[in-house]
C-alpha cells in the first residue's frame, strides 16, 4: 500500500526524528477517528527549516516570520457556520487517492515549542501533524466554537495514539 503522506524532508534532523513515520501515524489516526478509509486519501508534507517556513508564511499569509505548521487544503472544506463539522471528502469513484493538500512543518520552531512545553519533540510534532491534517479536512480555529471542536478532536485523536492532551490545563494552544 502506498504511503498516505508523501513526505519530503529538507533537513537531516527530520529524517533522524522519523518525520515520515510520525506523519503516517498521525494521518492514519485522524482518518480512522473520523471514520474515513485511510488508503483513499493522500497528503504532501514538507519538513523544512525556520527560514523556509518564514518565506512560505510571508508568501501565503503575509506574515514574514517562522511558524510551526502551515496547511494548504486542495479545496475549501470548511463548515458553513462556526462550531459545525465540515463535510468530509468522499473517496474518489475511480479508486485513486483523493489529494487533500499540503502541509509544511518547521524544525526549529517545533523544537523550541516542545522544549517550552516540556514534551518530547516527536510528541509535539505528532500533535502538529494531527492539527495540519484536520486543517486539510476543513477544521479550523478562527473562532471559539471552531477552536473548541478542533482542539477536542485533536485531544481525542492524540489519546488514541497514546499521546497526552496538549490542551490539558492550558487556556491557549501554541498551534498555528
Average pLDDT over the chain reads 94
* CA–CA gap between residue 166 and residue 61 (Å, rounded): 25
Q: What is the mean pLDDT of residues 73-90?
A: 93
Q: What is the mean pLDDT of residues 43-65?
A: 97
* CA–CA gap between residue 83 and residue 89 (Å, rounded): 18
At residue 111, does pLDDT exceed 60? yes
How confident is the model over 123-174, as pLDDT tens digits? 999 999 999 999 999 999 989 999 999 999 999 999 999 999 999 876 544 4
> Under a CB-based contact definition with an 8 Å cutoff, are residues 100 and 136 in contact?
yes
Q: 109: closest CA among 15, 13, 30, 7?
A: 13
**Architecture of the domain spanning 5-78+95-160:** 3-Layer(aba) Sandwich (3.40)
Q: What SS3 class is residue 5?
A: strand
pTM of the full structure: 0.94
Enumerate the domain spans of the chain.
5-78+95-160
E-state strands within 25-114: 41-48, 69-73, 98-106
At residue 1, does pLDDT exceed 50? yes
* Residue 141 in marked binding region: yes
* Residue 131 in marked binding region: yes
* Residue 127 in marked binding region: no
Amino acid at each position: 500500500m502506498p504511503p498516505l503522506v508523501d513526505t519530503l524532508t529538507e533537513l537531516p534532523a527530520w529524517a533522524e526524528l522519523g518525520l515520515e513515520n510520525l506523519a503516517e501515524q498521525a494521518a492514519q489516526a485522524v482518518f480512522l477517528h473520523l471514520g474515513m478509509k485511510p488508503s483513499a486519501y493522500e497528503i504532501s508534507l514538507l519538513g523544512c527549516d525556520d527560514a523556509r517556513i518564514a518565506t512560505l508564511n510571508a508568501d501565503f499569509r503575509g506574515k514574514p516570520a517562522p511558524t510551526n505548521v502551515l496547511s494548504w487544503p486542495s479545496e475549501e472544506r470548511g463548515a458553513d457556520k462556526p462550531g459545525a463539522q465540515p463535510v468530509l471528502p468522499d473517496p474518489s469513484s475511480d479508486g485513486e487517492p483523493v489529494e487533500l493538500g499540503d502541509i509544511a512543518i518547521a524544525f526549529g520552531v517545533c523544537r523550541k515549542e516542545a522544549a517550552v512545553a516540556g514534551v518530547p519533540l516527536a510528541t509535539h510534532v505528532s500533535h502538529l501533524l494531527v492539527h495540519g491534517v484536520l486543517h486539510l479536512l476543513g477544521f479550523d480555529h478562527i473562532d471559539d466554537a471552531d477552536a473548541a471542536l478542533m482542539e477536542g478532536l485533536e485531544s481525542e485523536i492524540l489519546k488514541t495514539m497514546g499521546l497526552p492532551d496538549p490542551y490539558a490545563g492550558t487556556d491557549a494552544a501554541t498551534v498555528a
